[in-house]
Each structure stands twice: as structure tokens, then as C-alpha cells.
Amino acid sequence: MTDETLLSARRLSLSFGTIPALVSVDVDLWPGEMLAVVGESGSGKTTLLNVLSGRLSPDSGTVWYRDPAGRLHDVHAMEAPLLRKLHRSDWGFVQQDPRENLRMGVTAGGNVGERLMAQGARHYGSIREAALDWLSQVEIDADRIDDLPRTFSGGMLQRLQIARTLVTHPRLVFMDEPTGGLDVSVQARLLDLIRTLVSRLRIAALLVTHDIAVARLLAHRIMVMQRGVVVEAGLTDQVLDDPQHAYTQLLVSSVLQA
Amino acid sequence: MRGYNFAYLDEQTKRMIRRALLKAVAIPGYQIPFGSREMPLPYGWGTGGIQVTASVLGPDDVLKVIDQGADDTTNAVSIRRFFARTAGVRTTTRTTEATLIQTRHRIPETPLREDQIIVYQVPQPEPLYRLEASRAETRRMHALAEYGVMHVKLYEDIARFGQVAISYDYPVMVNRRYLMAPSPIPAFDNPKLHRMPALQLFGAGREKRIYAVPPYTDVRSLDFEDHPFRAGRAPHACGLCGAADSYLDEVVIDDRGQRLFVCSDTDYCAERRAAGHLGTEGVAEAAE
């Protein structure tokens, strides 16, 4: 771990009964970097995400987070108020199903503004301005600001979720299959959007996906997981062009070539 | 009255409620759970308020009970008679004479004093209940003072209606710490909560919660900097006493759509008429 590391995990282990979900996993994430975690379903990707974000406690191992002031925090020893504050300001979480994150009974503008209001913003005009700005950044028409999310398409919902997450300018975003369940053209547009926003705002992101193509497009580095073990890790192109581990070779070769 | 303890409740229950009240006063706006008892009136009629009143009532107290500001409605009359019979205390309809006032949905227009206590009947003590279904979660939100979601509700109102559309039970911050439901008083009455000299007690019988605002405590209605809180009232003068500053009830007076606006606080209206103030309808009556 260097002075720069944003998030750092050492020897994370967690098992559900006799099923090992994580076996001595190490993770390092630097500011502005996109790290993809790939693997088949049940390989422990989402568990890793939940443990890193403090939603789930590991059986052993530690997760360190460096706050903007440079202090290190042990995520799992942190007091609940501090962790919750982190989750609504410095961190963001993008779910596969945007309905889990959005308030479906609240307008698009209210959804985007919620994190601002949770941080103490009390000026209606500036909240609305920020909401309009973010809706345009995620390519949602300004005149949809007072519409309920239930009138939005799947791709729009996902973009709305991204706007809602990024409005507080988080330094670290956890993404759990952000393009899952969307059709291919919508997926492509969303990937493009995520890539643009993340690089422009210099956000570090941890991306969980089972889609190698998504990882190749977005991530700087990649971790391949199988049954809770990180079998291979490195620069995305390096790992995907010259896979060393048998499982990675299998994953790469199983992608359909268009 | 024979066969009953003073003010109906047994002394152990009163002690339990008083302990809850002491905690409530110590932590302004925080909801204290208490063992609410079955009372001889249905939930929603003031079972919480009546238990709080019974616990703080003494033989020398003078009791006033109002419902929507009026002394002569069913709820007010029955609760007033209940304590007159079970405690033998003196009752009154005059705000200035009362030492203890139990109220449903209003705060009297006449400013209250340090030697008075006002008890509110509360149907729903949790201000966040429409926004967050889980009580475990709302308790956590109170503990961590995470009240952003309440502002989301205000934001939604302004986005849809151009203004905050909450006309009663308008959420307030007590002592800059706890979010509190002021019971379904009109938003018009919210400014009266702020730094009131009288002790304010809130009882929710069905929900089994007690909370309080001690005298001279800051109570602020939630708002946005660019959309400040406004206390709304019907833009009329009282038809009976001519008051242009009181909260008004709209009364339909015939089947041709004729309406009369009158003070909802009956005592305030009667006092003003006794002092010689007359509204349009009042004048007509005197001329006949």
C-alpha cells in the first residue's frame, strides 16, 4: 500500500457456511482508476463488493479507506454514522437494478437532489439547477425532471441512478453489473457514458461484471475470480490478450466473436 | 367518583407516564415509548392525550379541552366531562383561566403563559412514516439526525405545486436536533410552537409514544432558503368577531353555496365579541 492508495484490502476471507465466498483476497485501488472484477456467477464478485463497501463484514482481513484529508480508516471498525456519511457523500453505489436505489414515488429531480439534501443543501433553486445539470450529463431531457421514474425506460432508469450517485462528486463508486439486463444498444450507450463521466471526474470505480467485453472497454485493471479466489489479476489488455490461468483462458475463449 | 382512582388512571400507571414525560422533557422532540393503557374512548379520540393529562393533573388544576379550537364539540365535551367526574377538577372554556389545556388539532390564539401546560393528542408521532416504512430505520435516522429525505418531500411539493403543500402536521426541527411531528395542528399554528413559555406535551396512545417541547425551546418549521416557511390562513376576516389574524373555519350555511368564515378558536372569538368587536354577520345579528 502506498500513500496514494484510495482503497486497500488485505487477506479478505468470508464463507457462508461451508461455501467459501472469499479466500484471502487482496485489492488495491488508486484514485481515478477503474478496476473490474470478473468471473462467473457465484464466484464471489458481489460479495467482494459488499465487503469492500462495508455492507458485509468479512470473517477475517481488513479494508482500509483513505479519506480526502489523507487519514486511513478501517472500514469495518468505523462507527456507523461515519460509514453512512461516507456512503452518501464520498462513495456511491450503482446497483444492477436501479429500482433498488431510486425512490420510485419521487420525481427524477427529487431523486437526483436527495443526496445533496442529505448533505445539508437547503436552497431549492441550486438543488434544481444541479439536478438539471446532471440530467443533461446523463442525456435525460430537462423536461423529464418532474416525471416519476416509473415512466422511464430501463436504460433511462440506469442513467438516472448514475446521475443520482454522481451528483455529490464521490471519489469512489461501486458498480454491480451496471449494464446487466439492458439490451445491447442501450448497453453501449451507457458504457460510453460511464467511461466519459468517470474519466472526466477522475472517479475511482470498482466494477463487478460477468461480461468480459464491458471490462475490456471500461477497466484499467482486471481481477478474475473463481470460487472466491482471485486466480489472475493485472492490466486489462494484458490479462485478456494473454491469459495465464486456465480459468481465464476459458472465460476469454468463451466470448462470442462478432 | 367512587370506585375510581383520582383522574381514572391508577397511580403506578401515572408514575410510568411521568417517568416517560421526564425523559421527553430532557430530550426535546425525542419520542419516548410508554405502556399505553386501554382508555374508555376509542383510538383516534385522544387516548394518548387523555393519559398524559391524567398523569399531570392535580386537584387544583383548571382544565380546558379543545377540539379543532372549539370547546363545544363532542370530543372536547366528553373529555372535559370525563375529568370533571373522575377527578372533580374545575373546568373552563377560557384559555387565560386554564392551567392545563388538552388540545386536538389547534393551539389557542391567546398566547400561553409559563404557568400553563398544553397537552396535544397525537395520531401519528413519527414525522417520517410516509417516507420510510420501517420503524427500525426511522429510529436510526433520528439517532443519526439524517433528515434529508424530509426535504425531498418538500422539494417534491415545490416542484409539483410551486409551494410546500403540507397544510397541517407540518414537520419541525426541535432544538436543532430532532425532527418532530407537531400533531395535526394547522401549519398556521407552527410559529406558536417556537419558544412558547408553556410546557408542551404530546401523547400518542395507539402508537405508544410520548414527546415534549420544554418552555422556550427552539422549534423551526422545515423550509428552503429560497422558499421560506409561510403560515397559511384563509384570506378573510371572522364573520362573527371580525378578527383578521386568527385561524378560520369555513362553514357552509345554506344550500345555495353561501359560506361563513369564523374563528376556529371559539373562546378567542367569544372574548373578542364580549370586548365589542363585531364582524359582518355579528353586526347583522345585533341589528335584528
pLDDT tens for each residue of A220-243: 999 999 999 999 999 999 999 999
Tell me what the mean pLDDT of segment B183-209 comes to. Answer: 97
Give the mean pLDDT of B84-105: 95
Which among B156, B179, B222 is the top mutation candidate for probing chain A, defined by the most A β-carbons within 10 Å of its own β-carbon? B156
Q: Do B155 and A117 touch (CB under 8 A)?
A: yes
Report DSSP state, residue B272.
H
Q: Could you tell me the CA-to-CA distances from B54 to A68, B84, B117 in Å, in that order?
A: 55, 11, 13
Q: Give the residues across from A19 on adjacent strands.
A: A16
Q: How far apart are CA B262 and CA B233, in angstroms?
A: 12
A107-134: b (≥16 Cβ within 10 Å) or e: bbbbbbbbbbbbeebbebeebbebbeeb
Q: Is position B263 annotated as part of the catalytic site?
A: yes
What order of strands is seen across the sheet that includes strand B62-67? Answer: B32-33, B209-213, B199-204, B117-121, B100-104, B62-67, B90-91
Could you tell me the pLDDT band of residue A1, with boundaries at 50, 70 and 90? low
The pLDDT of residue B10: 94
Question: Who wins on pLDDT, A234 or B3?
Answer: A234
For residue B151, list chain A residues with Cβ-Cβ distance below 8 A.
Answer: 117, 122
What three-state secondary structure class fits A74? strand
Residue B285 has pLDDT above 50, yes or no: no
Averaged pLDDT for residues A131-159? 93
CB count in 10 Å sphere of residue A88 = 18
Q: Ranked by mean pLDDT, which of A70-74, A118-122, B198-202, B233-237 comes out on top?
A: B198-202
Average pLDDT, chain B: 93
Q: Compare CB distances from B152 to A88, A117, A146 and report the shortest one's residue.
A: A117
For the entire predicted model, the pTM comes to 0.87
- Judge contact between A93 and A53, C-beta under 8 A: yes
Q: Give contacts of B156 with chain A, Cβ < 8 Å.
A: 106-107, 110
Please name the member of A84, A113, A120 whose beta carbon is closest to the beta carbon of B152: A113
- For residue B268, what is its C-alpha cell? 378567542
Mean pLDDT of A241-247: 91
How many A/B residue pairs have CB atoms within 8 Å? 52
Chain A hits for B159, CB-CB cut-off 8 Å, are: 107, 109-110, 128, 145-146
Choose the catalytic residue: B48, B263, B279, B282. Answer: B263
- Which residue numbers of B have CB closer than 8 Å to A's CBs? 144, 146, 148-149, 151-152, 155-156, 158-160, 223-227
Strand bridging mode B117-121 / B199-204: parallel
pLDDT for residue B184 is more than 60: yes
Rounded Cα distance between B46 and B67, Å, is 10
Q: Which helix (H) or strand (E) holds A46?
A: helix A45-52
At A172, is the secondary structure helix, strand, or coil? Answer: strand
From residue B21, how far is each of B7, B36, B213 by CA, in Å? Answer: 17, 13, 10
Contacts with B51 (C-beta within 8 Å, 6 or more apart), sequence order: B9, B13, B17, B36, B37, B39, B203, B205
| Residues A141, A241: Cα–Cα separation, whole Å | 40
C-alpha cell at B155: 422539494
Round to whole Å and give the CA distance between B150 and B155: 9
- Nearest CB among A84, A88, A106 relative to B152 is that of A106
Over the stretch B10-37, which tens digit does the pLDDT of each residue have? 999 999 999 999 999 999 999 999 999 9
Residue A187 has pLDDT above 90, yes or no: no
Q: Minimal Cα–Cα distance from B75 to chain A, Å?
A: 36
Distance of residue B115 Cα from the nearest chain A Cα, in angstroms: 37
Q: pLDDT category, A258, cuts 50, 70, 90? A: low
Percent pLDDT > 70 in chain A is: 98
10 Å CB burial of residue B63 (0-12, 13-18, 19+) is: buried
* ipTM for the predicted complex: 0.86
Is there a contact between A146 and B160 if contact means CB atoms under 8 Å apart?
A: yes
* Residue B125 pLDDT > 80: yes
Give the three cell numbers for residue B216. 422556550
A106 to chain B, any CB pair closer than 8 A? The answer is yes
For the residues B202-231, what does the mean pLDDT come to? 96
Task: Determine, for residues B152 and A114 on separate chains, whether the beta-carbon distance falls below 8 Å.
Answer: yes
* pLDDT tens digit sequence for A80-109: 888 998 998 899 999 989 999 999 999 999
Could A110 and B146 be called an inter-chain contact, meaning their C-beta atoms sit closer than 8 Å? no
pLDDT exceeds cutoff 60 at B191: yes
**Which residue out of A86, A122, A128 would a mutagenesis test of the B interface target, given it has the greatest number of B Cβ atoms within 10 Å?**
A122
**Per-residue pLDDT tens over the stretch B38-81:** 999 999 899 999 999 999 999 999 999 999 999 999 999 999 99
Note if B238 is an active site residue: yes
Round the CA-based radius of gyration of chain A to a whole number and report it: 18
Residue whose C-alpha cell is 405502556 = B35
What pLDDT is stored for residue B283 in this prediction?
56
- Confirm if A176 and A46 have CB atoms less than 8 A apart: yes
Residue B109 pLDDT: 96
CA-CA distance, A101 to B185, in Å (whole number)? 34
All three cell numbers of A176? 454491480
CA distance B36 to B69: 26
Per-residue pLDDT tens for A33-62? 999 999 888 888 999 999 999 999 999 999
What is the structure's pLDDT at B286? 46
Per-residue pLDDT tens digits for A170-183: 999 999 988 887 88
Q: What is the pLDDT of residue B284?
A: 47
Q: pLDDT tens-digit profile of B169-181?
A: 999 999 999 999 9
**CA B241 centroid distance within chain:** 23
What the block records as the C-alpha cell of A30 is 488508486
The C-alpha torsion from B177 through B178 and B182 to B188, rounded to 10°, is 30
User: What span, in angstroms and rounded, lies between the C-alpha atoms of B118 and B202?
Assistant: 9
Residue A60 near residue A22 (C-beta atoms within 8 A): no
Average pLDDT value for residue range B253-264:
92
